[in-house]
Amino acid sequence: MDCSESQNSGQIVTYSLTLRREAELDLGEQFEYYEEIREGLGHDFLLCVEEALDKIARNPLIYKDVYKGLRRIPIRRFPHRIFYMLNSNKIIVTAVFHVRKDPNSWGGRT
């Protein structure tokens, strides 16, 4: 994804955003699920994901650390969360999970 810039203590910090393969698979599964429910709903889901990713890219530090450097942001209109980590100037999306999914299923995604 394109680089983004965020102000941090008066300085402009540029971040790059990357989705891990597991997160891409999560998105694909959820897209298919919502498309089965109603045609076009999967596309609505992806638009809301894109909106959340844009928010992360603009200011990744605004969302709190929930577990060992892992942060999360809710996806508007859908009961899912995007989980991501910061590594220097890189934003790494590790998962896109339903809110009711067992956190133990995260496995080694951190």
Residue ranges of domains in the chain: 4-101
CA distance 32 to 49: 14
Query: What are 52-102's pLDDT values in tens digits?
Result: 999 999 999 999 898 889 999 999 999 999 999 998 889 999 999 988 765
CATH code of the domain occupying 4-101: 3.30.2310.20
Burial zone of 30 (CB within 10 Å; 0-12 exposed, 13-18 middle, 19+ buried): buried
Q: In which band, very low, low, confident or very high, does the pLDDT at 107 lie, cut at 50, 70 and 90?
A: low
* pTM of this structure: 0.81
CB 27 within 8 A of CB 34: no
Distances, alpha carbon 107 to alpha carbons 20, 27, 71, 79, 104, in Å: 14, 17, 16, 21, 6
Query: What are 6-43's pLDDT values in tens digits?
Result: 455 566 778 899 999 999 999 999 999 999 999 999 99
